[in-house]
Amino acid sequence: MPKINQTLPMSSFHHDAARIHLYQMDCMAYMAQFPDGYFDLAIVDPPYGLPKTATHGRGKLKSRLINKDNISRWDVQPPAAYFEELFRVSKQQIIWGGNYFNLRPTRCVIAWDKCQPWPNFSQVELGWTSFNKPAPLFKCSNRKGKKIHPTQKPIELYEWQLNKFARAGDKILDTHLGSASSAIAAYKLGFEFHGTELDEDYFNSSVERFKQAMMLYEPSVWGVK
């Protein structure tokens, strides 16, 4: 593993036995330190940059910490350079909200059925993938537990992705850690995981959520996958 420039992260958390590495830092600075194809699979959920007249356009979620006062602060679509760097450092990719970004056509679009009853909210979310497989569907409610991030996705959704698309020994990258659902899923399944989150509040909350998960879940195969 390349030596991470310790002057760059503003904060970090490591579980060396489980090979979990979380950094509060800019994802572009983090990826720049790695050679081509270092990560086997990137599973990312970057901001979609939705029109601010959309459902949550006024940014009125229940928790001020979750929403950061205004959706315009965090829902900013990444530039083309982000995707170029993501494709450089990872061999395969899953990009949630891929229908909002300028990505090449793919056979393997993945769909998450949120199992929610409100017709004025999106019934599904779509993910772009680099895989040449049939397009799969995963059904899982997003109404369980406390939310610490406005776009928080279920741990079960990330477990499904890892079980379906990752292979034994893969290194997993998430450039937008958010609530740490991806890190928790990787921990449970025994994958090496690297995640970055720029926002201090979200990072601190995600680390606390990960620590709580450590007390609930025993990873299946440390040092095997």
Point out the residues of the chain with pLDDT beneath 50. 56-64, 221-225
Q: What is the pLDDT of residue 162?
A: 98
Q: What is the pLDDT of residue 120?
A: 79
Instruction: With respect to residue 91, please indicate whether it lies within any of the assigned structural domains.
Output: yes
Instruction: With respect to residue 172, please indicate whether it lies within any of the assigned structural domains.
Output: yes
| Assigned token pair, 22 | 């979380």
**Parent domain of 46:** 11-217
CA distance 38 to 36: 6
Residue 116 belongs to domain with CATH number: 3.40.50.150
Q: How many CB atoms lie within 10 A of CB 126?
A: 16
- Nearest residue to 174 (alpha-carbon basis) of 31, 60, 37, 17: 31
Give the chain's domain count: 1
Instruction: With respect to residue 6, please indicate whether it lies within any of the assigned structural domains.
Output: no
Instruction: With respect to residue 222, please indicate whether it lies within any of the assigned structural domains.
Output: no
CA distance 109 to 95: 10
Q: What is the pLDDT of residue 34?
A: 98
Q: What is the pLDDT of residue 49?
A: 83
Phi, psi of 29, deg, nearest 5:
-65, -35
Q: What is the pLDDT of residue 58?
A: 41
Instruction: With respect to residue 2, please indicate whether it lies within any of the assigned structural domains.
Output: no
Q: What is the pLDDT of residue 59?
A: 41
Q: Could you tell me how many residues make up the chain?
A: 225
| Contact between residue 180 and residue 202 where contact means Cβ atoms under 8 Å apart | no
Give this prediction's pTM.
0.87
